[in-house]
Amino acid sequence: MDQAGIIRDLLAWLEGHLDQPLSLDNVAAKAGYSKWHLQRMFKDVTGQAIGAYIRARRLSKSAVALRLTARPILDIALQYRFDSQQTFTRAFKKQFTVTPALYRRSPDWSAFGIRPPLRLGEFTLPKHEFVTLPQMHLIGTTQSYTCSLEEISDFRNQMRIQFWREFLSNAPTLPQELFGLHEPRPSLEKDDEQEVFYTTALTPEMANGYLSHAQPVLLEGGDYVAFSFEGSPDGLQNFILTVYGTCMPMLNLTRRKGQDIEHFYPQHDDSRDREPPLHIRCEYLVPIRR
């Protein structure tokens, strides 16, 4: 295998082990090279020092945990292998320009400081555009679930399908448009979990009176960045992770308070009862401050 292939495999392995011991000796043992040779090869292929890269990715992961859970700062610091809260705070402030406590309390979530995972070869940003939405009145139902930060990808796809099925159980046909609005909040019961509120909704015209159990839903207007997705439901979840972990930092955007919007365009040749749908098309909108 060539050097790029070796480092590509190593990057994927590192991404799944950022909360585990990653001394140069450990990483070199995994790669099967001396640590001196590995450091030179990593720098030659990526242009970055392996130790600095690991630290930047750990701090980026910790930033997400600060925003999406109520886990104590010391616990997050220890999870990502900092030996004290003081050491963690010093490193965090150097990368994000603010302390972990201020980062957590800020009403907005700036992507500044988040270092995307390295990708070897060209990376093309998903198609996106900046839009300003008017306030919209929808009809829908809101449900919630709790999960750990590590479980959110699996849970969100499962819950999305379940909520759709329940919401559309009495619908005679698939609607032309379907909205999924969601907003995670730190759980009030467990500090290492988050509670996700998910609203499945239609326009009043689409609802057409057959969703008697639904309630009025207000979709806030304002500035959004909209990313286009088409593919499998499982691919959507990975797409959302790319939006937050790579696209938002690359575009240097700040997420304002509000709900993310999934704007789906169901395939009308699909059976409503197919579990799950094999193909979905949607726009994923993130509220931003411009």
User: By the 8 A CB rule, do 253 and 128 touch?
Assistant: no
Q: Give, in words, the CATH class of 128-287.
A: alpha beta
Rounded to whole angstroms, how far apart are CA atoms 169 and 167? 6
Sorted by sequence, the CB contacts under 8 Å of residue 224 that are 6+ apart come out as 130, 131, 132, 133, 261, 285, 286, 287, 288
Q: Which CATH superfamily is domain 3-106 in?
A: Homeodomain-like (1.10.10.60)
- Tokens 């585990």, residue located: 20
Q: What type of residue is 194?
A: Q
Per-residue pLDDT of the chain (290 residues; tens, 9 = 90+): 688 888 999 999 999 899 998 888 888 888 888 889 999 999 999 999 999 999 999 999 999 989 988 889 999 999 999 999 999 999 999 999 999 999 999 999 999 999 999 988 777 888 999 999 999 999 988 888 888 877 776 777 777 778 777 777 766 677 888 899 988 888 888 887 888 888 999 988 877 755 657 789 999 999 999 999 999 877 888 898 889 999 999 999 999 999 999 999 886 554 445 455 678 899 999 999 98
The domain limits of the chain are 3-106, 128-287
CA distances from 263 to 17, 234, 255, 280 (A): 34, 16, 18, 11
